[in-house]
Structure 1
Amino acid sequence: MTVSRDERLGTAYDVELPAGTLQYHAVGNGPPIVFVHGYLVNANLWRKVVPLLSGQFRCITPDWPLGSHLVPMNRDADLSPPRIAELIADFLAALDLWDVILFGNDSGGAYSQLAAAAYPERVGRLVLSSCETPDCTWPPTPGGFPLLKRTAVHPLTYRALYQVLRWPGSWRWRNTYGWLAKYPIDEVAMRSYIDPVLNDAAIRYDGRKAIGSVDERYSRAAAATLVEQFGKPVDLLWAGDDRVFPPVHASAYAERLGTSVQVIPDSFTYVAEDQPELVAEGLAQWQR
């Protein structure tokens, strides 16, 4: 099973948290950026953008337990959205990180909103990138992603759903990764995303718990708290060609937050995959 993490992510570490062991990479010096990826990807999502930022920031890229990680959580770990938010807060506390730039993409943006809303103390700035907004469902409706939640009700249907990913031709389908990355993802990264869910029952158990419990009531409640109470900067970096999280939803959310949307052109949801230089420019502006 190919499970490599890109060397550009830096040094690998483990940290023991109440829910289990979390693996992460870190590189660079300066203010900390903690990256939060979404479902069925891992720290490799950031492999292109981290080297562009590590001269200015401490770039910290965990493998969150969302189906493409390597070390399963404790068997009894609760991986519902509120508990993933708590996991993020526990991670920041374990590393004694303060004034963090929390950068969330795809459903990682939803989890980041929950974490910032419920545990704002260590977050200095929240950056949301092509993710759930109050106008989105969770899972998002475009692309057929609600099927992911429906098949999570039973381990057999969950396992069966992902077997098609053994065929590389499926990787560009709209309900796999085709509407998430505008351009094909290299095979090493793709294998790191899909091999764990295909081959490790304990990882499937974590992934099934995570995707089976998502619901827009969580993301919408967190958004309301951010609008009414957060009181810290929230910035939106949005894929200009996003088919899953419509830019019009980002604009409406930005208006409620009193902020603006920075559009990343020629990109789908995985902006750090499609346009890493533009994402790095967007993040680096807060270190100038």
Structure 2
Amino acid sequence: MTAVTTPASTRFPVHYRTVQVNGLDIFYREAGPESAPVILLLHGFPTSSNMFRNLIPRLAGQFRVVAPDYPGFGQSSMPNHKEYSYTFENLANVTDGFVHALGLTRFAMYVMDYGAPVGYRLALRHPERVQALIVQNGNAYEEGLLEFWDPIKKYWGDPTPENRAGLHFLVDPKSTRWQYENGVADTSLLDPTTWLVDQVGLDRPGNLDIQMDLMLSYGTNVPLYPEFQAFFRQYQPPTLIVWGKNDYIFPADGAPPYQRDLKHVETHMLDTGHFALETHGEEIAARIELFLATRTPAR
């Protein structure tokens, strides 16, 4: 009789949970055995842990995979922006508290878009916890902030109501869909529910101001780039770069500079756009498995 192999997604189903962190309900997705090496997945804008919905079960056989939603995103708490300061420092504070609440002491970090400054701030606080980096269109160098960022930089320099209103287009349905489709050769590979789900979150009353506050706060990440780079040089985390090379938001220019500071870096430029997992999920998953198996020490 031929043996039947049970898929990892069946043996280690995805759990959808909530934990209290700093008085907030933080929603997260988790799969895999608790004893396995941990991968912490940090999402970007304008999405949530939903961007990892296919990657989590794919990796769950070998890893404990954990993906939180930041405050104001996905299923996590969304306090009013007048009562809670939506800054990248606070997103890092919540992520730090989340890691502590789950008892995660060593992990690889998958950082994408907003996840990069959140994760790198976390790395500055606890460098000993970061076993490896997986970087997917996540910036740490000024070379990666090109034309898309010009109106945002204008807002950083002069945060007037007019300049703030000039960024409102970034949360409209057309822009959300554009983030998924731009740079993708075959858009039939894209699941339309992704941008529809994201838009539901953005359209909640009060979320516009949350996103505009975070757009302003993103400017506080750039002065930290030298500190992020110093972390890379000092601690040399093995780093896998899987970058959508056609991304207009975080263009391909942001990937090569990592090689200046990291000795153990493997780079793959993928023929896709911002949300590379939507079109190259299997390739990324396979590269993560191989990379972490060969580049990180056994537990």
- Same fold judged by TM-score > 0.5? yes
When normalised by structure 1's length, the TM-score is 0.80
- Cα distance change of structure 1 residues 93 and 74 upon mapping to structure 2, 3 Å threshold: farther
Contact 1:181 1:268 in 2 (8 A): yes
- Cα distance change of structure 1 residues 218 and 26 upon mapping to structure 2, 3 Å threshold: farther
Aligned length: 274
Task: Give the AA of the match of 1:72.
Answer: M
Task: Give the AA of the match of 1:13.
Answer: R
Residue 86 (structure 1) aligned to one of 93, 102, 114: 93
Gaps of 5+ in 1: 1-7
Task: Give the AA of the match of 1:11.
Answer: H
Residue 103 (structure 1) aligned to one of 94, 106, 110: 110
Q: What is the alpha-carbon distance in structure 2 between the residues aligned to residue 158 and residue 249 of structure 1?
A: 25
Shift of 1:170: 5.2
**Correspondence for 1:235:** 240
- Cα distance change of structure 1 residues 195 and 239 upon mapping to structure 2, 3 Å threshold: same
Q: What is the alpha-carbon distance in structure 2 between the residues aligned to residue 18 and residue 193 of structure 1?
A: 25
Residue 70 (structure 2) aligned to one of 49, 64, 69: 64
> Percent identity among equivalent residues?
19
SS at match of 2:218: coil
- Cα distance change of structure 1 residues 74 and 26 upon mapping to structure 2, 3 Å threshold: farther
Stretch moving more, 123-132 or 97-106: 123-132
SS at match of 1:65: coil
**Correspondence for 1:179:** 182
Runs of 4+ in 1 over 6 A off after TM superposition: none
**Correspondence for 2:9:** none
Residue 220 (structure 1) aligned to one of 225, 228, 235: 225
| Cα deviations by residue, 1:125-184 (Å, 9 ceiling, x for unpaired) | 2222211131346xx43435744983986598389536741xxx55554xx444376654
Pick 1 or 2: higher relative contact order, CA cutoff 8 A, min separation 6: 1
**Correspondence for 1:4:** none
Task: Give the AA of the match of 2:259.
Answer: A
**Correspondence for 1:11:** 15
Stretch moving more, 151-160 or 48-57: 151-160
When normalised by structure 2's length, the TM-score is 0.77
- Cα distance change of structure 1 residues 158 and 248 upon mapping to structure 2, 3 Å threshold: closer
Stretch moving more, 155-164 or 261-270: 155-164
Contact 2:180 2:273 in 1 (8 A): no
Q: What is the alpha-carbon distance in structure 2 between the residues aligned to residue 105 and residue 206 of structure 1?
A: 19
Give matches, 1:148-167, under 5 Å.
150=155, 154=161, 157=165, 160-161=168-169, 164-165=172-173
The alignment status of 1:52 with 2:58, answered yes or no, reads yes
- Which structure is larger by alpha-carbon Rg, 1 or 2? 2
- Cα distance change of structure 1 residues 9 and 80 upon mapping to structure 2, 3 Å threshold: farther
Q: What is the alpha-carbon distance in structure 2 between the residues aligned to residue 250 and residue 207 of structure 1?
A: 25
**Correspondence for 2:3:** none
Shift of 1:13: 0.9
Q: What is the alpha-carbon distance in structure 2 between the residues aligned to residue 171 and residue 256 of structure 1?
A: 33
Shift of 1:101: 1.0
Contact 1:66 1:210 in 2 (8 A): no
SS at match of 2:254: helix
Q: What is the alpha-carbon distance in structure 2 between the residues aligned to residue 111 and residue 73 of structure 1?
A: 19
Stretch moving more, 176-185 or 220-229: 176-185
